[in-house]
Amino acid sequence: MKLLRYSTMLFVFELFMTDLFLGQWVPQNSNTQASLNDVIMLDQQTGIAVGDSGKILKTLDAGQNWIEEFSAANVRWNALAFANAMKGAVVGDSCKIAFTFDGGENWTFIDSSSTTHLTAADYMGETTLYVGDNSGSVFYTNNDGITWSLISFGNEPVMDIFFTESAYIDYSGHVI
């Protein structure tokens, strides 16, 4: 009898703990067959996801429904970053970059003859966008992509850029 009581209590405890720690994650349907490579939530309801086939998706209801904002077969978006709820950027293969100034409704593309694959992006404050590539370079702009400056960290791919009060750049498992 004690074993049954103990087993029941253990089962209830495990069920409660699983719900407590895993209960916040709910699978969502993005309504696309394309692989999605990055997602950002601008607030509790609004989010943007980017991926293969040039997909830029937006949700206004915490991921219940996704709207396709942009699609282009020749673009693979790898990362996105937002300075605030309105101003953001997406980066991808073949040095593709696009900016939005209206929360992702419209995108302005920057042409580049470079073939480097952009792999990471983040804003430092409201104006400075940092972008990393697959060859170990980090570029930054203070004027929405009109001019760029280069910082080189070697030849390992930049995997992520993240700003808090300090900057973190992850390139092939090394953090700066």
Tokens of 121: 């992006």
Task: Say what the pLDDT of residue 111 is.
Answer: 72
Task: Say what the pLDDT of residue 144 is.
Answer: 92
**Confidence band for 28, pLDDT divided at 50, 70 and 90:** confident
Q: Transcribe 157-173 into DSSP letters.
A: PEEEEEESSSEEEEETT
Q: What is the pLDDT of residues 101-130, one digit of tens each?
A: 999 999 999 877 678 899 999 999 999 999
Rounded to whole angstroms, the Cα distance separating 99 from 113 reads 18
Angle at 43 between CA 39 and CA 46, to 5 degrees: 60
Q: What is the pLDDT of residues 55-82, one digit of tens each?
A: 999 999 999 999 999 888 889 999 999 9
Neighbouring residues of 113: CB distance < 8 A, sequence distance ≥ 6: 95
Task: Say what the pLDDT of residue 27 is.
Answer: 77
Q: Name which of 85, 170, 76, 101 is nearest 130 in CA terms.
A: 170
Structural domains in the chain, CATH included, are 30-175 (2.130.10.10)
E strands, the chain, in order: 36-41, 47-51, 56-59, 67-70, 77-82, 88-92, 97-100, 108-110, 118-124, 128-133, 137-141, 149-152, 158-163, 167-171, 174-175
How high does pLDDT run on average in the chain? Answer: 84
Angle at 29 between CA 24 and CA 33, to 5 degrees: 140
pTM score of the predicted model? 0.80
